[in-house]
Structure 1
Amino acid sequence: MTNLESTAEHILIVDDQPELTDILSVTLAKRGYAVDCVYDGEQALVWLRSNTPDLILLDVAMPRLDGYEVCRTIKADNRLKDIPVIFISAMQDIGVKQQAFKVGGVDYITKPYQREEVLARVRTHLDLRRRQVELEHIHQLKDDVLRMVSHDLKNPLSAILNAQKLLNMTLREPLRTNGTARESLEIIERNVGKMLSLIRDLIDMARIEGNIDMHLEPVQVNSYLLKHLNEFKLEAKGKNIDLRLVSPPDGVQVWLSPLRFGQVLTNLLSNAIKYTPDGGIVELAAGIEGNDFVLAVRDNGLGIPDEALPHLFEKFYRVPTEAHLEQTGTGLGLSIVKSIVDQHNGRVYVDTEYGKGTTFTVSIPCLEPVPVE
């Protein structure tokens, strides 16, 4: 039986008992759903080659091809894999139900079923699927906006910054005596730099939230930490800061995303150097504690006031003190840190004493650290 309303949500029923299938089809059609019925697994796969329903009601025991194999085939197809499959069967054995969920089913209804129960479960899973599609659309829209931001804002800002640098070079002598012009160019450079940093952080945050570039691989801890620490040598030297590394024994590896976890190190080290006074100390320490890889960035800088701690990892939050306001930043750095650590199934926490210093500690599961032979 078929009811094809172009605006109605489309349900496929796959069952080898036509009398039950027709009754269920009529029930669903009366509620406004478009319904198609087929009577064995092979027919279902043929029908699905040219159709994409919103939901599938699937019997388990059918001739030629059972419901499990039909569901496996559906979930292996990129076009069909997100369609919710609800199994309907007279079999009540717990093993049968477990197998139904194992192959990709989202629900299991036992025959003989109550009409209202079927309608409620169908409605629930269609609502969930609809919200999933809406979220995918929102994510796609966000990605489109970010691409636009990256191209239509970042490129012109980079051009302005390059023009400013060119003016600095070509007008070097006049700028020495014209303080107003020199200050104006410095303002341009400073504010364009802020905008570029904000754009980079927004793009990074979107990519992190979308799990883009999140690829775990074994990383040799000592060389990895040393590489990132060396990137801050010049910045630390400019403030006469003692930059220290305390690392685990040679040869220890951990599984992490080198690209994304590198952002954790970059943001924590950058903040530590930024808020540590001239002549201070910044230490990067790492080790294995039980089943966790633990990393700490310590400084003897400004510290963080207690009232700021609950908001520290919120997006765009900046510590509201005079000393911190003197420093530039987007307010996204620590939020990015927490998002990346969360994706490693880890946690990040802070120990601070205002006016004396701060320690940020990151702990992630080791996933079997292995020594390099």
Structure 2
Amino acid sequence: MKERTTALIDPAGRLRSASTMLRSLQVYEYSGIESLLESKSRAEDLLCIVLDGDFSNVEEVKCLLERDGLPPLLLVAVSDAEEGKRWLDHGAMDFVVLPGRREELDSRIGAMMSWKSTLLNPAHQELLHRKTLRRLAHDLKNPLNAVFCYAELLLMDEHLTPTVRTDIEHIITNANVLLETLDSKVNFHREETESQPAGDERS
């Protein structure tokens, strides 16, 4: 997988001084959210963003998190919990109060990077795809079964014209094709999942 990086918005330097982890990561520093948004090539590869809330506008974070694809996770350093809640309401993943709880900064950065790495893992994405497919198949099968059953009831009418009868038979045929296709897709992914050894991750 392509290497992902961390963005840091820390004009006063208080996050770097409070974090040992930030010194060991591949970090790109920006003066603010606006400059990060302008740097599209790097922003697309970001794993997470750590920023000093005292130097950032909470309203700007919405633009950052509305990007296509999986947005970076955002950790904000704030002066108090009330300010942190406001950031959470605007899309931040987590916050840490500084300077009162400096010891939490590294653990929260590490947790965010672990979460994002899991989300980006191909095996995890494949699992989500299979779950989505099964849910979609289930949601589609109920109305398709209704179409199939009502069409069969209509065929019981002895007064149908040949043209109408043929049209209804087409409905039944195509409803059957869709049901069989959904069943085969769901069964294929179920068998593939069951045959995959536990802990096996595909790249």
TM over 0.5: yes
Amino acid across the alignment from 1:39:
S
Report the counterpart of residue 15 of structure 1 in structure 2. 10
Q: CA deviation at 1:212?
A: 7.8
Report the counterpart of residue 84 of structure 1 in structure 2. 73
In structure 1, which of residues 123, 129, 140 is the aligned counterpart of residue 116 of structure 2? 129
Distance in structure 2 (CA, Å) of the matches to 1:139 and 1:10: 24
Q: CA deviation at 1:76?
A: 1.2
Q: Is the 8 A contact 1:11 1:33 kept in 2?
A: yes
Q: CA deviation at 1:46?
A: 2.4
Scaled by the length of structure 2, the TM-score of the pair is: 0.59
Report the counterpart of residue 56 of structure 1 in structure 2. 49
Report the counterpart of residue 134 of structure 2 in structure 1. 208
Report the counterpart of residue 111 of structure 1 in structure 2. 98
What CA deviation, in whole Å up to 9, does each residue of 1:200-240 have, x standing for no partner? Answer: xxxxx86233x58969xxxxx9xx9975532344999xxxx
Task: List 4+ stretches of structure 1 deviating above 4 A.
Answer: 137-140, 211-215, 224-228
Structure 2 residue 34 is matched with structure 1 residue 42: yes
Distance in structure 2 (CA, Å) of the matches to 1:214 and 1:68: 39
Q: Normalized per residue, which structure has more helix?
A: 2
Q: Is the 8 A contact 1:59 1:67 kept in 2?
A: no
Report the counterpart of residue 184 of structure 1 in structure 2. none
Q: Could you list the runs of 5+ residues in structure 1 that have no partner in the other structure?
A: 1-5, 143-204, 216-220, 237-261, 267-330, 336-373
Q: Could you list the runs of 5+ residues in structure 2 that have no partner in the other structure?
A: 157-174, 180-185, 191-203
Amino acid across the alignment from 1:53:
L
Q: Is the 8 A contact 1:12 1:37 kept in 2?
A: yes
Q: CA deviation at 1:77?
A: 1.0
Q: Normalized per residue, which structure has more strand?
A: 1
CA gap of 1:212–1:101, structure 2 versus 1, over 3 A, is farther
Q: Is the 8 A contact 1:17 1:39 kept in 2?
A: no
Matches within 5 A, 1:251-330: none
In structure 1, which of residues 231, 243, 249 is the aligned counterpart of residue 151 of structure 2? 231
What CA deviation, in whole Å up to 9, does each residue of 1:137-196 have, x standing for no partner? Answer: 5556x6xxxxxxxxxxxxxxxxxxxxxxxxxxxxxxxxxxxxxxxxxxxxxxxxxxxxxx
CA gap of 1:226–1:37, structure 2 versus 1, over 3 A, is closer
Distance in structure 2 (CA, Å) of the matches to 1:13 and 1:29: 9
Q: Is the 8 A contact 1:84 1:125 kept in 2?
A: yes
What CA deviation, in whole Å up to 9, does each residue of 1:245-272 have, x standing for no partner? Answer: xxxxxxxxxxxxxxxxx99xx8xxxxxx
Q: CA deviation at 1:70?
A: 3.0
Report the counterpart of residue 70 of structure 1 in structure 2. 60
Q: CA deviation at 1:16?
A: 3.0
Distance in structure 2 (CA, Å) of the matches to 1:77 and 1:13: 18
CA gap of 1:76–1:16, structure 2 versus 1, over 3 A, is same
CA gap of 1:111–1:225, structure 2 versus 1, over 3 A, is same
Q: Is the 8 A contact 1:28 1:35 kept in 2?
A: no
In structure 2, which of residues 85, 91, 110 is the aligned counterpart of residue 98 of structure 1? 85
Distance in structure 2 (CA, Å) of the matches to 1:50 and 1:225: 48
Report the counterpart of residue 25 of structure 2 in structure 1. 33
RCO (CA 8 Å, sep 6+): is it higher in 1 or 2?
A: 2
Q: CA deviation at 1:106?
A: 0.8
Amino acid across the alignment from 1:28:
M
Q: Is the 8 A contact 1:72 1:103 kept in 2?
A: yes
* Structure number, greater radius of gyration: 1
Q: Is the 8 A contact 1:12 1:55 kept in 2?
A: yes
- Aligned sequence identity (%): 12
CA gap of 1:229–1:74, structure 2 versus 1, over 3 A, is same
Q: CA deviation at 1:40?
A: 2.5
Distance in structure 1 (CA, Å) of the matches to 2:128 and 2:147: 34
Q: CA deviation at 1:126?
A: 1.1
